Amino acid sequence: MLQQLLSKLGRKRSSKDVAKERLKLVLIHDRANVSPQFLEMVKGEIIKVIRNYMEIDEEALEIQLTKTVSEEGDGVVPALIANIPIKSVKNAGRSI
Amino acid sequence: MGEVIVITSGKGGVGKTTTAANLGTGLSLLGKKVVLVDTDIGLRNLDVVMGLENRIVYDLVDAVEGTCRLKQALIKDKRYEGLYLLPAAQTRDKNSVTPEQMIKLCEELKQEFDFVIIDCPAGIEQGFKNAIAGADRAIVVTTPEVSAVRDADRIIGLLEANELKNPVLIVNRVRHEMVKKGDMMSIDDIIDILAIQLIGVVPDDENIIISTNRGEPAVSDNKSMAGQAYRNITRRILGEEVPFMDLAGQGNFIAKVKKLFGFRSA
């Protein structure tokens, strides 16, 4: 958002801020020591659970390790973000 | 009983060897008995940075294998009282030495010297494992670049996993003008990310290239900014509290003239 604000004001974000952001993200991955295989495993398990309740588009499912601003406001924390497109909710999952 | 300090970085080309040469020389200038150990077997360079390349007879592998006595492999630097170099072998590979042999070597050197400064090869493989095996503490060198800081982070993790707790950081080749313009990460940015204690900031300085050309460490050059930074670090290694130097005077000629006449560049 800050980035957008700055660009609206006609100012480019300084290259050091870009460097810092990129570095933080890459270190989250490095420190967590997650391999693509690990993420595939997580993805497979999530699909298994969710399939019980709804039909999802497994091809379009995206999962990534990223960072987000923590709600306590004490800076950036790692987050697992999954984007799971739902095709339909199964009957068994609906409330009566 | 002396202390073994390993100079490491992960990434190549950030200034490990230059740092090792300058800190070793700096400590000897403060009256300490110091040995510089080059563990970059196959790609030795500390000898040329120190200007001692023509005096090598035996090397680290010879000493470890018992081809010669340890004392025979040590090259005495005649310019600096109490400074010695143990060069790496050039025609062998990193697997010629084991971590156990390095521990034994460090133990022996510690009996004779106040400081054993180990120049670690780039990477995290066998050479790195050998270099840190006998170390009591570690200095991590980085530059204000994403790749170098990333590798430093990895190295800090590996050092701590190998019982080398609380490594300290040197940020090398800082260009104050670029930091001021927002085009280079500042010391605070880097410390914030790595969460590690800072022991020194070395400005990018042409004198380093000149001194390396000559084989004379910049730490002995009173006019060199980088030399001053290294002198400060050696005193911090000895436990002194030395304030971090103001890098604002560094940079282009105009900035220097402005400073001379009391102008502050905005």
Model ipTM value: 0.78
Among chain B, residues having any CB pair with chain A shorter than 8 Å are: 145-146, 149-150, 153-154, 157, 179, 181-186, 189, 193
Give the per-residue pLDDT at B253: 53
Provide the pLDDT confidence category of residue A65 given band limits of 50, 70 and 90: confident
B253 or B195, which is more confident: B195
**What tens digit of pLDDT does each residue of B58-115 get?**
999 999 999 999 999 999 999 999 999 999 999 999 999 999 999 999 999 999 999 9
Is it the case that residue A61 has pLDDT exceeding 80? yes
Confidence category of residue B55, pLDDT binned at 50, 70, 90: very high
pLDDT, mean of residues B193-217: 95
What 3-state DSSP class applies to A55? strand
Report the residue of B156, B185, B186, B191 to disrupt the A interface, i.e. the one with the largest count of A CBs within 10 Å.
Answer: B185
Cβ within 8 Å, pair B181-A14: yes
For the residues A43-65, what does the mean pLDDT come to? 86
| More confident call, B24 vs B257 | B24
pLDDT at A90 over 90: no
Instruction: Give the orientation angle of helix B225-237 with respect to helix B206-214, to 10 degrees.
Output: 80
Q: How confident is the model at residue A91 (pLDDT cuts 50, 70, 90)?
A: confident
Say yes or no to pLDDT of B236 above 80.
yes
DSSP state of B12: T
List, for residues B164-187, the tens digit of each pLDDT value.
Answer: 999 999 999 999 999 999 999 999
CA A30 to chain centre: 16
Average pLDDT, chain B: 93
Distance from CA of A7 to the nearest CA of B (A): 16
Q: Which residues of B touch A24 (CB under 8 A)?
A: 193
To the nearest whole Å, the CA of B28 is away from the closest chain A CA by 37
Q: CATH top-level class for B3-260?
A: alpha beta
Task: Please check whether residue A26 touches B, CB under 8 A.
Answer: yes
Q: Quick one: pLDDT at residue B265?
A: 42
Residue B251: the pLDDT is: 46
The lowest-confidence range among A52-61, A77-86, B110-119, B157-166 is: A77-86
- Residue B159 scores a pLDDT above 60: yes
Q: Is the model more confident about A11 or about A66?
A: A66
* Best mean pLDDT range from A44-53, A73-82, B54-63: B54-63
pLDDT at position B161, please? 93
Nearest-CB residue to A20 (from B157, B181, B189): B189
- Whether A24 sits inside 8 A of B193 (CB atoms) is yes
Nearest to A16 among B157, B189, B193 (CB): B189
Tokens (6 digits) for A67: 């960072």
Q: How far apart are CA B112 and CA B101, in angstroms?
A: 17
List phi, psi (to 5°) of B33: -90, 120
Give residue A70's pLDDT: 67
Element (H, E) at A11: none
Contact state of A23 with B150 under an 8 Å Cβ cutoff: yes
Name the residue among B265, B244, B253 with its Cα closest to residue B174: B244
Partner residue opposite A16 with nearest CB, options B150, B184, B193: B184
